[in-house]
Amino acid sequence: MSDRPVVLVTRRLTDAVHARLEKNYNPVFNLEDRVFDQSELVSKCQSVDAVIPCHSELFSAEVIAALPERLKVIANHSVGVDHVDLTAAKEKGVIVTNTPDVLSDATAEIAILCMLGAARRASEGDRMVREGRWDFWSPAFMVGVQTTGKRLGIIGMGRVGQVMAMRGRGFGMEIHYSNRRRLPQDLEQGAIFHETVEDLLPNCDVLSLHCPSTPETKGLMNAERLALLPNDAVLVNTARGPLIDEAALIDALKNGGLFAAGLDVFCDEPGGNPELSRLDNVFMLPHVGSATKDTRDAMGFRAIDNLDAVFAGREPGDRVA
Ligand code: 8YV
């Protein structure tokens, strides 16, 4: 028991994941599921060989500098790694891994939900019925935009973007995309590549964001780029909040620059943006893209696979630093 690596698990994971950790490691769980502040995170890390964090734990350069020599690996329970300073981790020799692939289906499901919720005015309709305000009906009532057969634009044609494209094709949508590199034909599946985001935007009836959050993509959808979308377009974001300039989005939603937005992620999390909450043409969810039992099991197992590799002296499959 005592020679097993000690692993800090910062948040409550699924029972199956906890059970697998208990088999081969000495896990330190956070069963209350409290979010650690920076100093608590540093102090909890002092007596462990590895940590499994979520995107809710910020491993800044300062936190990484304060990690003990014994801590070998940050095995994230997330595909996004914008909460970890990868340069600082590399410099300190701490291995960092993530959990790609296993959450692509769940996240694309939520992107489709956000697309339909925004296009068909789901928040507005739900609130009206729920609050007893539904006292009228007419063919001109609650008319939304149809997505079937329309153009779906995707920024970031990685794993989630490709599944989103597949789901969009199920709605007969024509797929347009922009990506750092053009995909090979077998992955592209007829999707139309645009060299620049500016070229892509006028071709989107729905635009769905699936790129990572980096200093380069911060504010990717700013006022200028939002203005290049058709006025009846729907914007979907299930990736990371900072990809959108929220003030510019609010402006576009209020002034007819966009039909609606479907958002699962926000600049401020948890919490969201009260100004967005006041708008009827926003469909919102509280960052639940990967929140299914199947996916949470798979994410936890994938993080443990990465730990297993590191402690067996092998290269982990999902190393990002
Ligand atoms: C998670 C995510 O909700 O994987 C990511 O990057 O944002 C989400 O899947 C979260 O980090 C779960 O640990």
Task: Tell which atom from ligand 1 comes closest to the C-alpha of 77.
Answer: 13
Sheet bearing 95-97, strands edge to edge: 26-28, 6-9, 50-52, 73-75, 95-97
Q: Is residue 12 one of the residues assigned to a domain?
A: yes
Chain segment 196-229, per-residue pLDDT in tens? 999 999 999 999 999 999 999 999 999 999 999 9
Whole-number Å distance, alpha carbon 290 to ligand 1 midpoint, is: 6
Asked whether the predicted pLDDT for residue 305 surpasses 90, the reply is: yes
Q: Which domain holds residue 29?
A: 6-102+293-311
Decide whether any atom of ligand 1 lies within 6 Å of the 80 Cβ: yes
pLDDT classification of 1: cutoffs 50, 70, 90: low
Give per-residue burial for 83-114: e unless 16+ CB within 10 Å, then b.
bbbbebbeeeebbbbbbbebbbbbbbbbbbbb
Question: Using a 6 Å cutoff on CB, does residue 290 contact ligand 1?
Answer: yes
Burial class (CB within 10 angstroms; exposed 0-12, middle 13-18, buried 19+) of 149: exposed
Q: Is 113 in the pocket of ligand 1 (CB under 6 A)?
A: no
Q: What is the per-residue pLDDT for 52?
A: 99
Q: 189 and 134, same structural domain? A: yes
226 and 176 within one domain: yes
Q: Is 78 in the pocket of ligand 1 (CB under 6 A)?
A: yes
Are 125 and 152 in a shared domain? yes
Please tell me whether residues 171 and 246 are part of one structural domain.
yes
- CATH of residue 153's domain is 3.40.50.720
pTM of the model: 0.97
Model pLDDT, residue 21: 98
Report pLDDT for 153.
99
Report, as an integer, the average pLDDT of 43-57.
98
Note whether residue 319 is domain-resident: no
Closest C-alpha to ligand 1, atom 2: 78
pLDDT tier, 256 (very low <50, low <70, confident <90, very high otherwise): very high
Shared domain for 113 and 249, answered yes or no, is yes
Enter the DSSP assignment of 314: S
The helix-helix angle for 293-311 and 15-24 (nearest 10°) equals 20
Distance 51 CA to ligand 1 centre (A): 15
Share of the chain above pLDDT 70, in %: 99
Distance 81 CA to ligand 1 centre (A): 9
pLDDT per position as a tens digit, 125-178: 999 999 999 999 999 999 999 999 999 999 999 999 999 999 999 999 999 999
d(CA 220, CA 204): 16
Query: What positions carry a catalytic annotation?
Result: 240, 269, 287
Count how many domains the chain has.
2
- Tell me the CA–centroid distance for residue 196 and ligand 1, in Å: 28
Q: Name which residue sits closest to atom 9 of ligand 1, judged by CA.
A: 290
In a shared domain, residues 260 and 132: yes
Residues 269 and 306 in one domain: no
Are 262 and 302 members of one domain? no
With a 6 Å cutoff on the Cβ, whether 84 touches ligand 1 is no
What integer is the mean pLDDT of 235-244? 98
48 and 112 co-located in one domain? no
- pLDDT at residue number 257: 98
Are 56 and 181 in the same domain?
A: no
Mean pLDDT over 32-51 rounds to: 97
Q: Are residues 90 and 28 in the same domain?
A: yes
- On whether residue 304 sits in a domain, the answer given is yes
